[in-house]
Structure 1
């Protein structure tokens, strides 16, 4: 392994052939020493090498070394994994870190379904979700109930936002409804499996009985809203599903609103999370946090901080 640089969590995940969530979990549990550069976690090659040797049984179990005061402080705080892709979660992470010396948030930029699964597996502490159940039109709770079986949890409204189609400027193909995806001359670009936008598309196709096999570009996947909008702007596709803010960030794209989606936070209810839940509720109800989100535009904050469901 190279000795002259530190690794990102993504590089470590590639080396170990595991997911980034697994790397976050190793750091959270103190099995893999790490430090922060800004918001990014870094791992030294020597520490990664020691972890691999310990895993092979060649070294004694890791014990935190008494090094600098910064290292001691880092090891005393609780590392939290906040999973989801919206920029509002980065702002929440900043507020959490400033509000208490006990928390050091880490960000995992994964889709809604994968985020919930990571919570079930113990890898994430706060997850965001915007998953619609097609028949009822209800957001999030039906999926959370199915995945977090036998867990106690709280669901808190972070925000609402409009989702719909990205189309080329001026909408030359007059794409306005899900039924328009039946047209053979329309090519779409899709989100990855498990993303909220992908679930919205799939549930809508099911609702209107539109066969996936007949949609040109259904298997063409990208991993975020801006990439969908960019694919449309560059002519790679005629339409894609995303949120309003994505269209605002990319030139030559118009937005066709279809639904007002609910974007919620999920936190497990246990003794360890008692203070965390209280802190998150306090942050979401603060004027400063709401003002920061409002400045971004494209969000409905009328229910921000409301507990929408708990077990």
Structure 2
């Protein structure tokens, strides 16, 4: 049967009808009040039961989206009214918050040695946990330069040029992890780059440092370079994921955010910002 009565659902869950009635009234499980009677979609109730078992008594995390800073994500969280609070401290900070249960979602863009994104880091941090990675967007990362790229920068190794002032990111940021990997691939040591003493704590701060002349270059996303009318040298196409426990993906905050990301307004904003590919937004990138 596709739909169960209160009695049938209670038998399936091995609960009393009164206990199930109380759960349904509190909206604690899939149920609908039709004609004054509670009915239960069978498949949805089965999935709910599996999710409860996988949660293993885990306390519900606060509605916080922690991790990497992304301007399109920041905008969408506000516009969607999803109720998530943003805590941008870098991808590794977001992963730690997911492990500790102090955030509902981790925003990550961690490139692994094989050229993949995020899954290896998540597996290592939470082995065996029922997690899902949802693609937020593919982004262009590269060198942000003053307008016209007066230094003629064209490759990651150019950041090691003598006298070039470079704005870096905090060590726990995904952009810093990517930069270290690209420099290593080019045979350049991190100590060979003249970074400014204070790192940028978000993508927009990289562009701001170049715009005001405090830095000659930085590593960041095309969208921020475009917003500040700065030069941009593309180096990397990366996948930016939202990672969370599987059952939390069906809760109201994430569903509201993903629903908004399917609207024409979202697609128009991404196109206007530049450097984003949102054709896969909301798609499962990995399922652990």
TM-score w.r.t. the length of structure 2 is 0.70
Confirm or deny that 1:82 pairs with 2:65.
Answer: yes
What's the offset of the Cα at 1:233? 2.5
Q: 1:92 to 1:153 in 2, by over 3 A?
A: farther
* 1:126 maps to which of 101, 105, 112: 105
SS at match of 1:221: coil
For residues 262-273 of structure 1, what are the structure 2 equivalents within 5 Å?
Answer: 262-270=239-247, 273=249
CA distance in 1, matches of 2:121, 2:140: 20
* 2:95 maps to which of 116, 141, 150: 116
SS at match of 2:209: helix
Instruction: Name the counterpart of 1:196.
Output: 174
Query: Residues 69 and 203 of structure 2 are in contact (CA less than 8 Å); yes or no, is this contact kept in structure 1?
Result: no
Confirm or deny that 1:226 pairs with 2:209.
Answer: no
Q: 1:221 to 1:96 in 2, by over 3 A?
A: same
Structure 1 unaligned segments of length 5 or more: list them.
Answer: 1-77, 99-103
> RCO (CA 8 Å, sep 6+): is it higher in 1 or 2?
2
Count of aligned pairs between the two proteins: 226
Query: Residues 225 and 232 of structure 2 are in contact (CA less than 8 Å); yes or no, is this contact kept in structure 1?
Result: yes
**RMSD (Å), alpha carbons:** 2.4
Q: What's the CA shift string for 1:101-137, capped at 9, x where partnerless?
A: xxx322212211111111111111122111112x311
TM-score w.r.t. the length of structure 1 is 0.66
Q: What's the CA shift string for 1:202-225, capped at 9, x where partnerless?
A: 111222221122221265412122
Pair member with larger Rg:
2
Structure 2 unaligned segments of length 5 or more: list them.
Answer: 1-60
The 4+ residue runs of structure 1 with deviation greater than 4 A are 276-283
CA distance in 2, matches of 1:289, 1:182: 38
CA distance in 2, matches of 1:213, 1:292: 38
